[in-house]
Every structure is written in structure tokens, then in C-alpha cells.
Amino acid sequence: MDQRGPLCVGIDPHPELLAAWQLPDSAEGLARFADTVVAALADRVAVLKPQSAFFERHGSAGVAVLERVVADARSAGALVLLDVKRGDIGSTVAAYAGAYFGEGAPLRCDAITLTPYLGYESLRPALDRARADGAGAFVLARTSNPEGAATQTARTEAGVPLAQTVLDHLARENAGAEPWGSFGAVVGATAPESSLELTINGPLLAPGLGAQGATADDLTRVFGAALPQVLPSASRSVLRRGPDVDGLRAAAGREAAELARVLA
């Protein structure tokens, strides 16, 4: 982020985007889409975030594309945050973690997204595996989808919002780390203002810029004093400028310049 600016670009090959790029909705079209994004951006943006679901929908051929895309993006110098939103218990979450972390992992990446609503400690095998591999994780805390509020704003018996308990756990994971710990939270840039304590000594992934309606100015409103920790994420606002490589680079550059105005 210091070298390339605080921008994460999603690789979200929606069927509608494949069509807009005049690509077939197939593993071949998926590969051409993802390879173009990597070629355009992996040597200049801080983080690329492939959305695993849009690769998995093409079966084993799509997952094979994802394996190559993750490896190619990392080789070009981008950090890869794989958006998988895994959440399970015991040996199952450990098995998920084995796909993403450790020597020989087929989808070895720099971080994944996790969902904690089977209980934060249910994620322990994945968190420990990430730490051992020098990697990290982003745990869903306060997302911006309307359906999330019922769970995330519910209060514990002690009166603490459930999202705050997730943030508190992450602050403990990151305690003492310099300059930041490797365990972040997902807090939507379109989330309403709240009284959550967001300073977790780790990064805050802020999806929702561009097509989902959030602007750079919303980051100040949502994150307040935690603004220096924010990693904003944009997807369609950049991707719809493809398949032209220069168009993708220009769109990412515009997003980064607008973010620098707020985050500098």
C-alpha cells in the first residue's frame, strides 16, 4: 500500500461483465477476462481480490483458472486477497485453510476472507494456519448488505454488538504487531455510521466503492479515526473499462487518485 497506493481491485467475472467484454460465459471466457485484469493491474495495484464464486461456477476448469490467476498476480507483485468467505468448525475449517495457506497449497495466497458467525474461535485453525504461513485474513464484521444488520448489530448478553465482538477479537490477534497485524476486518464503505471501535491495529477492507454506491468521501464518514487503516476495494467501476488494458489502468488510476485525496 505504501508503494502502490491503498487500492484493492476485485476480479469479479460476473456473467454480465463477460458479456460486456464480448467474452463467452465459459471457462475460456473467464480465463481471458482474469488474465487481462492481471496483465493490466498486478504490477501496479496493491491488492487484487478474486471472487472465488465466479470461478467455481465453471467447475474444475474455473478453479484451475483461479489457481493460475492467483499465482500470476502474486508473481507480478500484487498481494492476493482471495474472497472465499469460508466459515466452518474443527477439521473442516482446517481443511479449507489447507487449500490457501502453506507450502504446496493449490490456491496459496496472501489472505482470505472468513465469516465468523459460527463463533469467532471456530476460525482458529484458519487463523493459526495463516499466521504460520506469514499470511492473513479479513473477517466479516459490519457488512453493508441490508440482511447483515440483523445479525451484526444484535447485542450479546453484555450489551455489546456482535460486530464489535469480532473487532475486539481481531484487535487481540494484532496486539503488539508493527506496523499492523495481518488480521483485518471487512467493514462496508456503504455501512451506516455507527459507534463501533474500528481501531484494531490491522487493515479494514472497505468494499462498496463505485458501482455499489460508496464514494471516497463516505470513507471519512464510516471510518473516522480509523481511516489510516482502510483498504478500499473497487470492482465493477474498474472492470467495466475493459477489455482494453489501458482503460483498466486508467480506471484504477482514477480510483487511486480520488482515494489519495481522502486517505493522504
Q: What superfamily in CATH does domain 8-263 come from?
A: Aldolase class I (3.20.20.70)
Output the pLDDT for position 72. 98
Question: Which amino acid is it at 256?
Answer: A
Distance CA 263, CA 77 (A): 22
75-112, pLDDT tens digit by residue? 999 999 999 999 999 999 999 999 999 999 999 999 99
Cell of residue 89, nine digits: 468448525
Contact of 183 with 174, CB cutoff 8 Å: yes
CB atoms within 10 A of CB 27: 18
Contact of 107 with 70, CB cutoff 8 Å: yes
Question: Which amino acid is it at 61?
Answer: A
Distance CA 199, CA 196 (A): 9
| Cα dihedral across residues 63, 64, 68, 69: positive or negative | negative
Choice among 74, 85, 236, 240 that is catalytic: 85
Q: What is the chain's mean pLDDT, rounded?
A: 95
Q: Measuring CA to CA, which residue among 31, 89, 88 is closest to residue 55?
A: 31
129-154, pLDDT tens digit by residue? 999 999 999 999 999 888 998 999 99
Hey, is 241 helix, strand or coil? coil
Residue spans of beta strands (DSSP E) within 143-212: 183-187, 204-209
- pTM of the predicted model as reported, rounded to 2 decimal places: 0.96
Name every residue whose Cβ is closer than 8 Å to that of residue 244 and which is 6 or more positions away in sequence. none
Name every residue whose Cβ is closer than 8 Å to that of residue 196 and which is 6 or more positions away in sequence. 141, 142, 161, 163, 164, 167, 187
Question: Which amino acid is it at 225?
Answer: A
Active site annotation includes 49: no
Question: Which amino acid is it at 169?
Answer: H
Question: Which amino acid is it at 64?
Answer: A
* The total number of residues written for the chain in this structure: 264
231-247, pLDDT tens digit by residue? 999 999 999 999 999 99
